[in-house]
Each structure stands twice: as structure tokens, then as C-alpha cells.
Chains A and B, each alone.
Chain A
Amino acid sequence: MAEARQVPFRGGGFRPVQKRGVGLVVFVLLIAVVEWGTRAGWISSLTLPKPSDVARTLIGLWQSGLLMQHVLPSLSRLAVGSAMGVTAGIGIGVLIGLFSLARAGLVPLVAALFPIPKIALLPLFVIWFGIDEGSKYALIALGTFTPTVVATFGAVDNVDRTLIRMGQSFGLPWLSIVTKIVLPGALPGILSGLRISLSIGIILLVAAEMLGAQYGIGAYILEAGSLYDLERLFAGVVILSALGVTVSFLIGRVETRMLRWRS
């Protein structure tokens, strides 16, 4: 009789599953290694600050009230600037998606604006919009505008045409087709574009604050850097990371709320 062997399983892997807490463990492990290295001396204090010192600096910042003094202006700059950029970006993106004339006229313009490092324009913006808030808003707005436009018109292009034909076949007015079919259909793409736009917004926020701001996370980091105060520099970096994580979390919440219809 022939020998019986079990068929080996070979269909595993290639399927991401959710692992809770692993991200946190990586963070904690990395910080622990740096802490150990700086304490033991095989990482010099010129290379990296002690994480515990950075934490102490953060606590000090919080207790002295300086934290809010730096974070609040930054938050309001980010909010105002990106609100302007994202609103204009979604508006122009939808226009490009809907009208061939807008597409023909504006897509080359957006393509020309996109690769310009917006930071390079900051001196110009200072002349145009003034050294205080105006130039910072403008920089963040322009920086968030272009990726939002590209994401939005891509998302509008990707709306299922059969749904639009369906709307037309039932005699829906143009405006209803746009608001009830095109915009909800484009929302997933617009939201994932928003993640990128807002991250760019944070980068530009810091850049703008490095030039002519008394308060703000960027100003704080710049000052610490020029004094080579690594604890404060890293405290600023931690605040920025926290800001990035918070923004990403908030968009994630909006996505789960508004895109519940996807599986």
C-alpha cells in the first residue's frame, strides 16, 4: 500500500492582521535603549539627550505654562492655514474633476506649483503678506492646497461612472448628481489626500515659525538648536510628533464615521 502523507499547508502569509500594542512596544524599546546608552555612556551626550531629561524638560514646559504659549499659536496657524488651503483645494479639485475647461486650464498650473518647495517662497510671502501671521497662513495654505487639489480631482475621476449614468437615467438634476453621487463617492480619496496635506502643513508650519515668530513650536526648536540645547530641541520634536499622531488619529476618526458604508 502507498505511504500516506499529509498535504503540507502552504497558503499562509501576505495578509496583514491587526496587532495591538506592538507599535507602542517599539517606541518604548527604542527609548529604553537610548536611555540605557546615554546613562552607560556609549551614546555621548553630544549625540543624543537622555530621554528622561527630555521628559523632564517637557514637564517643566507644561508647569511653567510655556508649553501652551508655544503650542496654541502653532495650532491656530495650522488650523487657519490648512483650512484655507484644504477648502480651496477641494473646491478647485472638484471643478477640475467636473469641467473639462477647468481641467485643461488648471491642471498644468497645479503641476507647476506642486514641486516648488514652498519654504523657498517664504521671504516673498513675508513681503506680500507681512512678517506676522499672514505670511504663515499663506505658506501653509499654499502647501496644503496643491496636494489637496490633486487628491480631490483624482478622487472625482475615480467615482464609478455607472452610478453617474444611473443618476442621469433617473432624471436627477445636475446639482443632485454632484452632491449626492460625485461628492460622497470622492470622499474616501479626498480624506486620504487630507492625511498627506496636513502632514505637509505641519512641516511648513515649523518652517514658517523658524522665520520671524516669537512663539510657536518652530521658534522654540530653532532657539534650542542655535543654543545646542538638545533636551529642548528634542522636547520640540516630541511635540511635533504628537501633533502629527493626533492629526492622523482625528482623520482616522472622521474616516470611520463618514465611511461606515465601506466594509
Chain B
Amino acid sequence: MDLTIEGLTHRYDAVEVLSDISLSIPSGRIVCIVGPSGCGKSTLLRMIGGLERPSAGRILQLGDPPADCLNPLTFVFQDFALLPWRSVAGNISLVLEDRAVSRKDRADRIADVLARTNLSDFANALPRQLSGGMKQRVAIARALAVNPAVMLMDEPLSALDAQTRELLMDDLVGLWTRTPFTAVYVTHNLSEAVRLGHKIVVLSRRPGRIREVVEIDTPLDQRDATDPDLARAQDHLWQLMREEAKAADAELAHG
């Protein structure tokens, strides 16, 4: 299932936050959206997932989601959004309970996603017992449990410390390499974008417009921090964003 965004524009009252965004999200690829803070990248993601209504333009699904997909557009949130009163397994079970899934199938799916995210030993732990990185792995496991057609990831690593972020990026690369998934990945971190993105969309400051779309062809599992191509791509992205980020920063300062 592919996604296409056509002429999407959004205003909060008089303030235009997104302006004429057109973009295609091909199946099996990770599309990263980067931009200075306040450029509307998270708003764009919420619109793609149907949590917010754009002022103009539309978002189209092309083709049908796979047959065993329970929730085609599935979010992974920056702050994890785990229910603190449910165990790890219970949090995953939550998104399966209201579906036409047999008790056995549900248990199998939970066991499968816990194994894929290396969480099998923590099925009965409560969220407060877990570190930030583990919490986000639970959230990723929960997203995988519904077999999404497209994962919508809203700064999923931004609440984590640098080491945990590296480990989770490796996990994501591993997950994608074993079974490629489609994702829209919003971040302000350029090194995440060049590590995980097949296609990197750079937004300008408010109102967010597409400044450039950068494609990186290196396979995900062959990308590492020492790769000069990646370093060049990251530097290029930074040159694109630098002035924008500076202007956005100054903009916030005087209102």
C-alpha cells in the first residue's frame, strides 16, 4: 500500500503551518521528514494518520493494506504512550482485544513481536519498571503487533539518551532488514535521518514547505557512521536547514 499526499495545506486560525505539501510514500521504504522546530512536521504526520484534519489538500491510500493488517496507519509516539497500569504484554494486548483475533492468535502475535524486539523476558513487567529505551521498544512491538501497512513514527528516539538512541537505531535497522516495512519517520536529528531514511524530505520553517527531497541508495544495513557518502548527505541536509533553523529560532524568540 502506497500513500500519496496532494497539495496539503494547514492553518491554525490565521497562521499557516503547512503549505502545499505533495509527497509520495512508496511501500517498503522509510521516508524521513526533517525540518526546524515548529515547521509542522509532527502536524503533517498526525494528518497522514488521520488524527488531524488538514485545511486543504488530501491524503490518499493507493491499493489495499495486506490481508492480515489490523490497523493500516499505526503510530509510534515520542513519549511512548504506554498505559502505566498494564504490563508489557497487556499494552500490546490492548490494541488486539477489540479485533477479530482469536485468543490463541492474540497470544501468538504478542509472543512474536516481543521476540522480535527482544522483550520476551519482560512480558509481565510494568512500564514504570522499564528504561526509556525499553519503553519505546514496547511501543514499537505494539505497533508491529497490528501488522501496519505504514508506521508513522513521531520523533520516536527524541526522548532517549544518545547511547540508547544508537542501540534502538540498530534495532530498527535490524527489524527493517528482516522484514521491510513502510514508515514515515519524523525527526529533527539529521544523523537518524541519514541512518534510517531511504528518502529524506526537508521542510522549511513555518509555513512548512518541501525544500528538497534527498534520496539515499545505500542499503540500510550497510550504513555506518564512518561512511563518507552519509557524512556528505548529512552535511548537505544541515546546509539546507541551517539558515532555516536559525531564522526559526529567532522567530520563536520574538513571538
Contact = CB atoms under 8 A, between A and B. Distances in A.
A165 B51 contact: yes
A166 interface: yes
A44 interface: no
A181 interface: yes
Given A170-B74, A263-B128, A162 B81 contact: yes
B126 A166 contact: no
Interface string A222-263: 000000000000000000000000000000000000010111
Given A166-B75, A171-B71, A261 B128 contact: yes
B33 to A, nearest CB: 17
B117 to A, nearest CB: 17
Nearest to B49: A169
B83 interface: yes
Interface stretch (A16-24, A116-124, A172-180): A172-180
Interface string A184-217: 1100000000000000000000000000000000
Interface residues of B, number: 24
Interface string B65-90: 00000110111010101011110000
A165 B77 CA distance: 10
Contact of B95 (A160, A170, A184, A259): A170
A261 B84 contact: yes
Given A176-B97, A180-B94, A263-B128, A169 B84 contact: no
B84 A170 contact: no
A160 B86 CA distance: 15
Contact of B79 (A162, A168, A171, A261): A162
Interface string B44-76: 000001010000000000000000001101110
A66 B51 CA distance: 64
A173 B98 contact: yes
A172 B51 contact: no
Contacts of A168: 51
A48 interface: no
Nearest to A167: B94
B51 A170 contact: no
B202 interface: no
Nearest to B128: A263
A102 interface: no
Interface string A149-170: 0000000000010110111111
Contacts of A166: 75, 77, 81
Given A163-B83, A170-B94, 20 more contacts: A160-B81, A162-B77, A162-B81, A165-B81, A166-B75, A166-B77, A166-B81, A167-B94, A169-B73, A169-B74, A169-B152, A170-B71, A171-B98, A172-B94, A173-B98, A184-B85, A185-B85, A261-B126, A261-B128, A263-B128
Interface of B: 49, 51, 70-71, 73-75, 77, 79, 81, 83-86, 94-95, 97-98, 126-128, 142, 146, 152
Interface of A: 160, 162-163, 165-173, 176, 180-181, 184-185, 259, 261-263
25 contacts: A162-B77, A162-B79, A162-B81, A163-B81, A165-B81, A166-B77, A167-B94, A168-B51, A169-B51, A169-B74, A169-B152, A170-B71, A170-B142, A170-B146, A171-B70, A171-B71, A176-B97, A180-B94, A181-B83, A259-B85, A261-B85, A261-B126, A261-B127, A261-B128, A263-B128
